[in-house]
A and B are shown apart, each in its own frame.
Chain A
Amino acid sequence: MSKDIAQTEAKGLPRMKPATDILETGDGFFIYVDMPGVRKEDLVIDLSDDELRIGGKSAYHGVANENRIHVEFGNVEYTRAFTLSHIVDREKIKATLKNGVLELHLPKAEKALPRKIQVELE
């Protein structure tokens, strides 16, 4: 397949906002993004300034010689952006892709973590 054809096909994919959960735990934030069918090599994560942008194309294959009987999903292009709070430690952001779910761990910076303060009795 030539590069031009590949680009045209990519443009033709319907764009979709992936279902996302954002939650906070004691040490930071977790973002879970449903991206079924997306391979690791097709996943794009960009962090610039305060914006975290994720994207990916699902790549289903093996249906070329098959006769389709019923269709409810197909290849799509996922795209979504998040703005990060200043309490996130940008250097320690981790991303894992497992079972079609992108998990982003955004740890809080040391200064933002809750601290116990000792009270001294006189």
Chain B
Amino acid sequence: MVIDTSPFYGGMDNFDRVFNELWGPLNISQRRVAYPPLNISEDADALYVRCEIPGVSVEDIDLTFTDSTLVIKGERKIEKGKYFRQERPTGNFQRVVNINAPVDVDKVKAVAKNGLLEIRLPKSEDTKPRKISIDIMN
């Protein structure tokens, strides 16, 4: 068989966990709490939800947006064979993201690339900050 001799051989023991915590990015807030891990960000035009779902084809991802709630559902299928080691998560997954901003639902777009799913939720026109000109009366 193939033998794994990574310097971090074996499962996550306490030492590995402490080591990973120390070396993890500082701004990570909820690492390994839920699957799949996701990032949320925004710019002036849209909100972006990105999640890491390697090995999931687009057909197995189900995205729904209702009542300002984005639901990311899917399934990671298992390969057939005799397993020597299994660390990759498999089966159904679901994450719910509350979006507390009005979104233009018709223009929501999702792209998957290199195991990363990116969902772009454009902000609706009414909520965008607008410049109001003020006339000064003398």
Contact = CB atoms under 8 A, between A and B. Distances in A.
- The finding on whether chains A and B are genuine partners in a shared complex, rather than unrelated, reads yes
A89 to B, nearest CB: 13
A101 B55 CA distance: 6
Chain B, interface residues (CB within 8 Å), range:
35 or more
A99 interface: yes
B54 A85 contact: no
B72 interface: no
Name the 6 nearest CB pairs between A and B, nearest first.
Answer: A100-B115, A100-B54, A36-B115, A23-B81, A72-B37, A66-B41
A88 B80 CA distance: 19
B5 A100 contact: no
A88 B56 CA distance: 28
Contact of B28 (A15, A29, A74): A74
A17 B4 CA distance: 11
Interface residues of A, number: 48
Contacts of B40: 68-70
A85 B82 CA distance: 16
Interface stretch (B84-92, B102-110, B125-133): B84-92
B46 to A, nearest CB: 9
Interface string A2-31: 000000000000111101111111000111
B54 A83 contact: no
Given A23-B79, A23-B81, A83-B5, A71 B27 contact: yes
Contact of A60 (B7, B54, B83, B116): B116
